[in-house]
């Protein structure tokens, strides 16, 4: 069976919006301000686990640490990633102690994704004053408790130049990978900007023997891996409105609801895969297009894919004398990070 196909009730990645509640009001947040707060019930989650065979789940919100049944939700899935703003993790709160104990009890089957938005001034401007310091404090506590964690930052052409600083000053000293995702709602990066970004990540990883990455299918294609958007095929999302949608950024394409029959959801997944995952004509030339299918349909970052200018990893490695053994170590390290967490592609 090929990529971009569905496999009965098997879903590799399920993203779940547990609650609409969040203490922040980030500038770029695309979720409506729900009043009253909407949240899933444990019965909804029970339906999810009985309907699908799920390999890995990402619990998000709103802010998932505000979900009153987070402990129970974590226990319902084998492998869990929590996407959090980090504010609930602090030195002196009983809720934080409870969360740390819950995370620790899941052992190697949990990872925590901490959101930032570039450097300190970018993050505080978008997420709120003082947020940066609190996220770093949370990272420190999670690390001290041996809980796997990584940063997720949105990028756009305005905060792009801050990425080397974040790697040098934050993610490297903390030994915490930086994963990057294009900011939805901002124009995609140009080819030259993406060339610079991809090259910077490989260069920094080579320097520090680390595994920072750009969470985009075409970045992995560029690295020689089968990067693809798995929305609708290997990936689904359950929203706090109880809708099943293909991707956590695509809340309007409804495939079914809590309680829908699997056959109905799967028929809708088939139609989605046929009609909405089209390869852009500008990618027709590309030998990787059958799998990549123009990458992330939400971010449209394919418009600036470096392969469109024949900027390949091989060419970059030759020009910069990065040896192939170092490169393959770096790539297999990224693979491990992808396996242990729930990141696109």
Does position 134 interact with ligand SF4 (CB under 6 A)? The reply is: no
List 214, 307, 327, 342, residue binding ligand SF4 (CB under 6 A): 307
Nearer to ligand SF4, 230 or 260 (CB): 230
State how far Cα 214 lies from the chain centre.
10
Pick 212 or 230: Cβ nearer ligand SF4: 230
147/215 with CB nearer ligand SF4:
215
**Interface map 208-227 toward ligand SF4 (x if CB under 6 A):** ---------xx--x------
What lies within 8 Å, CB to CB, of 247 at 6+ separation is 15, 229, 231, 232, 235, 237, 298
From the DSSP assignment, how many helices (H) and strands (E) are in the chain?
A: 13, 10
Half-sphere exposure of 201 (CA within 13 A, CB side): 25
In angstroms, give the least distance from the CB of 288 to ligand SF4.
4
User: Which is nearer to ligand SF4, 72 or 290 (by Cβ)?
Assistant: 290
Kind plus residue range of the DSSP H or E element containing 273: helix 262-275
| Residue 15 dihedral angles phi and psi, to the nearest 5° | -105, 135
249 makes contact with ligand SF4 (CB under 6 A): yes
How far apart CA 68 and CA 4 sit, in angstroms, is 35
Answer for which of 19, 119, 123, 289 binds ligand SF4 (CB under 6 A) is: 289
Q: Which stretch binds ligand SF4 (CB under 6 A): 135-143, 156-164, 253-261, 299-307?
A: 299-307
x/- letters, 63..102, toward ligand SF4 (CB under 6 A) = ----------------------------------------
In the structure encoding, which two tokens stand for residue 275, read together?
């009609």
β-strands 235-238, 243-245: how paired?
A: antiparallel
> What single DSSP character describes residue 184?
T
Instruction: Answer yes or no whether residue 341 interacts with ligand SF4 by CB under 6 A.
Output: no
Dmax over CA atoms of the chain, in Å, equals 57
Query: In whole angstroms, how close is the CB of 165 to ligand SF4 at the nearest point?
Result: 26
Q: In angstroms, what is the minimal distance from the CB of 11 to ligand SF4?
A: 12
What is the CA angle 47-52-57, rounded to 5?
Answer: 90
Q: Is 12 in the site for ligand SF4 (CB under 6 A)?
A: no
Q: Are 5 and 277 in contact (CB under 8 A)?
A: no
Q: Minimum distance between the CB of residue 191 and ligand SF4, rounded to whole angstroms? A: 10
The residues with which 53 forms a beta bridge, in sequence order, are 10
Among the listed residues 80, 297, 338, 341, the single contact to ligand SF4 using CB under 6 A = 297
Does 283 contact ligand SF4 by CB under 6 A? yes
Count of alpha carbons within 13 angstroms of residue 250, beta-carbon side: 22
Write out the two tokens for 261.
Answer: 């029959």
- The stretch near ligand SF4 (CB under 6 A) out of 122-130, 169-177, 294-302, 326-334 is 294-302
* Number of residues this chain uses to bind ligand SF4 (CB under 6 A): 26
Q: What are phi and psi of 203, to 5 degrees?
A: -65, -45
Does position 6 bind ligand SF4 by CB under 6 A? no
Residue 237 within binding range of ligand SF4, rule CB under 6 A: no
Q: Is 45 in the site for ligand SF4 (CB under 6 A)?
A: no
Q: Among candidates 344, 255, 228, which has minimal Cα distance to 51?
A: 255
Residues 6 or more apart whose Cβ sits within 8 Å of residue 19: 37, 38, 39, 40, 61, 62, 63, 64, 66, 67, 240
Among 26, 199, 298, 326, binds ligand SF4 (CB under 6 A): 298
Residue whose pair of structure tokens reads 């991809």 in the numeric block: 198
Distance of alpha carbon 206 from alpha carbon 195, whole angstroms: 16
Binding residues for ligand SF4, rule: CB under 6 A, are 217-218, 221, 229-231, 235, 247, 249, 283, 286, 288-289, 292, 294-299, 302, 305, 307-308, 344-345
């Amino acid at each position: 069976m090929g990529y971009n196909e569905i496999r009965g009730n098997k879903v590799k990645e399920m993203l779940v919006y547990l609650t609409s509640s969040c203490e922040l009001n980030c500038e770029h947040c695309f979720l409506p301000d729900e009043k009253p707060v909407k949240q899933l019930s444990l019965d909804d989650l029970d339906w999810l686990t009985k309907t699908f065979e799920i390999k890995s789940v990402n619990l998000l919100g709103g802010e998932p640490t505000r979900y009153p049944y987070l402990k129970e939700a974590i226990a319902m899935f084998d492998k869990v990633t929590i996407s959090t703003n980090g504010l609930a993790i602090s030195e002196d709160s009983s809720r934080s102690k409870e969360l740390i104990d819950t995370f620790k009890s899941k052992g190697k089957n949990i990872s925590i994704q901490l959101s930032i938005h570039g450097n300190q001034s970018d993050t505080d401007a978008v997420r709120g004053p003082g947020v940066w310091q609190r996220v770093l404090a949370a990272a420190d506590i999670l690390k001290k408790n041996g809980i796997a964690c990584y940063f997720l930052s949105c990028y756009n052409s305005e905060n792009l130049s801050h990425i080397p600083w974040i790697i040098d000053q934050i993610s490297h000293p903390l030994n915490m990978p930086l994963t990057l995702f294009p900011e939805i709602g901002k124009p995609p990066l140009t080819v030259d900007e993406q060339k610079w970004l991809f090259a910077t990540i490989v260069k920094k990883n080579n320097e520090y023997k680390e595994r920072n990455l750009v969470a985009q299918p075409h970045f992995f294609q560029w690295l020689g891996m089968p990067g693809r958007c798995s929305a609708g095929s290997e990936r689904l999302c359950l929203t706090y409105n109880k809708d099943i949608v293909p991707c956590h950024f695509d809340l309007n394409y409804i495939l079914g609801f809590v309680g829908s029959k699997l056959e109905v959801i799967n028929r809708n997944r088939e139609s989605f895969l046929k009609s909405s995952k089209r390869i852009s004509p500008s990618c027709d030339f590309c030998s990787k297009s059958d799998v990549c299918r123009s990458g992330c349909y939400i971010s449209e970052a394919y418009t600036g894919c470096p392969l469109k200018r024949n900027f390949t990893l091989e060419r970059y490695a030759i020009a910069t004398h990065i040896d192939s053994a170092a490169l393959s170590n770096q790539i297999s390290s990224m693979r491990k990070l992808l396996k242990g967490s729930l990141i696109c592609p």
